[in-house]
Amino acid sequence: MGSSFTPIAPRPAPVNTEGLLPWIRRNLFGNLPSAVVTVLLVALALWLLPQLVSWAVLKAVVAPNFDLCQAARGSGACWGVITEKHRLIIFGRYPFDQQWRPEIATLALVALLMASCVRACWKPWLVALWVAVLALFFALMRGGVLGLAPVETDRWGGLPLTIMLATLSIVGAFPLAVVVALGRRSKMPAIKTICVVYVELIRGVPLISVLFMASFMFPLFMPPGTSIDVLIRVLVGITLFAAAYMAEIVRGGLQAIPKGQQEAADTLGLSYWQAQRKIILPQALALVVPGIMNNFIAIFKDTSLVTIVSLYELTGAMGLALNSDSDWRPFKIEAYLFIAAIYFAFCFSMSRYSLWIEKRLSFSKNR
């Protein structure tokens, strides 16, 4: 033959696959079963949506008027319960006239969390900022300084408590989890055993029992006269609990890193900690971002369990707000929807952030 190589020029695809209409045709009416399901789902939506809109918007009562709410019961939502009780739901039993303090404290904490998500802020000063904001948070909440009236921790509640518990237990649990995961792979039998026992013990009990122990049993073992604030005990409990689960996620990531990476690090003379910090952990953690974020979200919602040891975070505060008032008690569904929306806003943001960070870290897959 001996003919020379002539490249074939690229041609567009014969059928247009871009755009909305082709997409609908292909994905929603691709074949008969698919078309039937599409029609059924649209019909269901058309039947349900008007009822929902009617209940939630058209016939809803927004004014904090108990009589109007009673009248609309069954046909319209009573958002009035939120207008009436939102301060109790959001701030719990924190003294009413001092509520500007948790407001500022929580805003500062949320701003800090948002800043920590931005890559441009991953600088040494961020650590200093964390210390400063946490100090501000506790100074404002607790009082007793700068002429602020002291407020005991058992009166803290609502969203500030939820956010604070979640933030601190995540911040505490993550490094602990990394250390435990590394320890579980250690060649030193003592360290390995401690880590295995810790993980298995904690995973073997429900969070509720950990909280009970932290709250009621732990003080029995303390020397008389000494006491640690229940909030701190509970915080330590949640942190230890979350870290045990997270450690196993991190360990999964560590297992996935080829042995050659450690060998290459050894060959280059890196110490154990240098190798973990620079080579193994960056790759292992990038692999388990979805699992870790799953865990963070679970911790955020699990904070609602502290109600059983009489700390009234968001869910507990909502219960407190409505149960104490027999007039409004029937409108719990609306109140539940309200706090559900708050939980969702936080969890959904975490989930989106996780996707973003996952993309940023996918260094190895053809950027």
Partner 1 sequence: MTEPIITFDKVNKWYGNNFHVLRDIDLSVARGERIVICGPSGSGKSTLIRCINRLEEHQQGTLKVDGVELTDDVKAIEQIRKNVGMVFQQFNLFPHLTVLENLTLAPMWVGKLPKKDAEEKAMLQLKRVRIAEQAGKYPLQLSGGQQQRVAIARALCLTPKIMLFDEPTSALDPEMIKEVLDVMIELAAGGITMLCVTHEMGFAKAVADRVIFMDQGQIIEQNAPHAFFDNPQSERTKDFLSKILGH
- Write out the two tokens for 201: 């013990």
Distance from C-alpha of 239 to C-alpha of 231, rounded to nearest angstrom: 12
289-302 and 332-361 are packed helices; what angle lies between their axes, rounded to 10 degrees? 160
CA-closest candidate to residue 122, choices 348, 293, 361, 366:
361
Of 283, 290, 325, 342, the one binding partner 1 by CB under 8 A: 283
**Candidate ranges 40-48, 54-62, 190-198, 256-264; the one touching partner 1 (CB under 8 A):** 256-264
The whole-angstrom distance between residue 289's C-alpha and the CA centroid of its chain comes to 13
CA distances from 233 to 212, 215, 223, 281 (A): 10, 7, 15, 30
The amino acid at 334: E
State yes or no: residue 299 binds partner 1 (CB under 8 A). no
State yes or no: residue 189 binds partner 1 (CB under 8 A). no
**Candidate ranges 39-47, 199-207, 226-234, 266-274; the one touching partner 1 (CB under 8 A):** 266-274
Of 209, 274, 323, 324, the one binding partner 1 by CB under 8 A: 274
Of 40, 53, 264, 308, the one binding partner 1 by CB under 8 A: 264
State yes or no: residue 278 binds partner 1 (CB under 8 A). yes
State yes or no: residue 62 binds partner 1 (CB under 8 A). no
Distance from C-alpha of 62 to C-alpha of 140, rounded to nearest angstrom: 32
State yes or no: residue 117 binds partner 1 (CB under 8 A). no
Q: Where do we find the tokens 């400063």?
A: 132
State yes or no: residue 366 binds partner 1 (CB under 8 A). yes
CB of 267 vs partner 1, minimal distance in Å: 4
CA distances from 152 to 104, 222, 229, 319 (A): 18, 21, 10, 21
Distance from C-alpha of 106 to C-alpha of 99, rounded to nearest angstrom: 11
Distance from C-alpha of 84 to C-alpha of 222, rounded to nearest angstrom: 43
CB of 275 vs partner 1, minimal distance in Å: 10
If the CB atoms of residues 223 and 260 are measured against partner 1, the closer one turns out to be 260
CB of 251 vs partner 1, minimal distance in Å: 19
**Phi and psi at residue 169, in whole multiples of 5°?**
-75, -30
Of 263, 310, 345, 356, the one binding partner 1 by CB under 8 A: 263
State yes or no: residue 282 binds partner 1 (CB under 8 A). yes
State yes or no: residue 256 binds partner 1 (CB under 8 A). no
CB of 258 vs partner 1, minimal distance in Å: 8
**Candidate ranges 220-228, 281-289, 316-324, 331-339; the one touching partner 1 (CB under 8 A):** 281-289
Distance from C-alpha of 247 to C-alpha of 80, rounded to nearest angstrom: 45
Number of residues that bind partner 1 (CB under 8 A): 21
The amino acid at 198: Y
Of 152, 200, 229, 266, the one binding partner 1 by CB under 8 A: 266
Distance from C-alpha of 69 to C-alpha of 331, rounded to nearest angstrom: 9
Q: Which residues bind partner 1 (CB under 8 A)?
A: 258, 260-261, 263-264, 266-270, 274, 278-279, 282-283, 286, 363-367
